[in-house]
Structure 1
Amino acid sequence: MSAGALRAGQLRAEGRSLGEIAHALNCERVPTPSGGGTWTRSSVQHALIRLRGDEAGRSGEPRARPRGTEDPAAPAVIVKIPLMAS
């Protein structure tokens, strides 16, 4: 995990907003994950999401599936629709 993501996690745990975290990381000259540019609220949010995902993976908790994907363990639901008489 990048040093920036870890630092962002520390600042978030202190109750800082995404904008405050971005400002602090830029002031501390913490490099962005891409190695260039500046930290923004969006880049901080993405770093925190990745950090949370890595922590979930290490703790054994299942990661969330992308929206629209099926759970193979979920039972199928069968709905019977009566035929309409014409």
Structure 2
Amino acid sequence: KAKTLYDAIDSSDFYSNPVAEKYRSWMNVPFLLANEELNGLFLEKSSAQNLITLKGHRSVGGMRASIYNAMPQAAIDSLVGFMKDFEKENA
């Protein structure tokens, strides 16, 4: 599940991950938008798609996807699809 999300982030110029690859978590995936002014819009639109609790940690900012064991692969696929659509609309 984490690989799906990290691959989407790493293949994009719109999203980035602030954590060096060897230190990345398999459970919590932080990511930043290229334009932090879009954070509010990202959270608003993702929530409307039932993709919730994505707001990042207050010390890091950006977004954070928590993908614990109970999170199905389909939910990760939905998030990645949303992220790609959001990028197309806002890049």
Which of these two proteins has the greater Rg computed from alpha carbons? 1
Normalised to the residue count of structure 2, the TM-score between the two structures is 0.30
Normalised to the residue count of structure 1, the TM-score between the two structures is 0.31
